């Protein structure tokens, strides 16, 4: 049974009317272009990602709205340039979703999420006449950690993956030993390369165990910030500054933070 979208369509029409008003009447909004809005879109996307990490649902709602506003502005830019409009955006997306979900809209069978991903990648390649490279769909501007994960996931979809996931630890240890070897030689360029290989292997291990490495690292980032802030706050309570403490003092406060579940 399909949902009734009457209320959603009414809210969306209201939003479209406001976007028209802003574009036509606001001095700031009327001067925006693809290029000027792009860095702000990146910022808004990260703010949405932060809200999702925090499970801050009121803020997720707000940040989703900000991202949606940008999408609508881009559609307006395209319309003004005579290149495309929001109808084109929606229809192109609908056509792609229908085409790439033949297990829903066709007669293809897909029983698992992995089946769906394999079909998706095969159809993407077919769209390019079979000439599309497997890794060409990974955006060049992605942050390196996320890019490594996406590269590995794309390769997995065509069968290039570890048959036994536990074997990945042999690769991690191998890369760790190569890092140690280059540290001994203190060749900066080679150390950079080997650290990169080690990080790539660790990302691979996380992926094989169903862990998103970016989410995992961000969780640790937030934990470190919380515990370090605890050290800073406790130091200020004593009328001191961090530079007044030695590492043993800091370690003691760090352990306190851990005990306090910070």
Give the domain ranges of the chain: 6-99, 133-211, 215-259
Please give the Cα distance from 113 to 231 (Å, whole number): 44
Structural class in CATH, domain 6-99? mainly alpha
Closest alpha carbon to 231 in 253, 247, 248: 253
Asked if residue 129 has pLDDT above 70, the reply is: no
**Of 26-40, 65-79, 193-207, 247-261, where does mean pLDDT reach its minimum?**
247-261
| 6-99 and 133-211 share one fold | yes
What does R_g of the chain's alpha carbons equal in angstroms?
25
- Scanning the structure block, which residue is given the tokens 């306090």? 260
Asked if residue 262 has pLDDT above 70, the reply is: no
Structural class in CATH, domain 133-211? mainly alpha
Give yes or no for a contact between 41 and 77, defined as CB atoms under 8 angstroms apart.
Answer: no
Closest alpha carbon to 39 in 83, 18, 80, 70: 70
pLDDT tens readout for residues 24-64:
999 999 999 999 999 999 999 999 999 998 899 999 999 99
């Amino acid at each position: 049974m399909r949902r009734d979208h009457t209320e959603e369509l009414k809210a969306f029409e209201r939003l479209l009317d406001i976007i028209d008003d802003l574009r036509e009447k606001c001095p700031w909004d009327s001067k925006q272009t693809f290029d000027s809005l792009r860095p702000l879109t990146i910022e808004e996307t990260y703010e949405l990602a932060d809200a999702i990490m925090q499970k801050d649902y009121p803020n997720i709602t707000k940040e989703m709205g900000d991202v949606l506003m940008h999408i609508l502005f881009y559609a307006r830019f395209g319309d003004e340039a005579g290149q495309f409009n929001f109808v084109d955006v929606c229809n192109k997306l609908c056509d792609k979703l229908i085409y790439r979900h033949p297990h829903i809209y066709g007669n293809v069978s897909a029983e698992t999420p992995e089946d769906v991903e394999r079909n998706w990648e095969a159809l993407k390649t077919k769209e390019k006449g079979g000439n599309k490279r497997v890794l060409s769909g990974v955006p060049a501007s992605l942050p390196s950690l996320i890019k490594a994960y996406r590269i590995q996931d794309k390769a997995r979809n065509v069968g290039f993956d570890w048959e036994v996931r536990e074997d990945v630890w042999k690769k991690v240890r191998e890369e760790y030993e190569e890092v140690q070897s280059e540290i001994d030689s203190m060749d900066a360029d080679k150390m950079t390369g080997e650290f990169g290989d080690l990080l790539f292997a660790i990302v691979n291990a996380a992926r094989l165990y169903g862990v998103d490495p970016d989410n995992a690292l961000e969780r640790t980032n937030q934990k470190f910030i919380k515990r370090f802030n605890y050290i800073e706050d406790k130091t200020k309570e004593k009328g001191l500054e961090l530079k007044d403490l030695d590492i043993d003092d800091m370690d003691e406060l760090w352990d306190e933070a851990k005990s306090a579940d910070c």
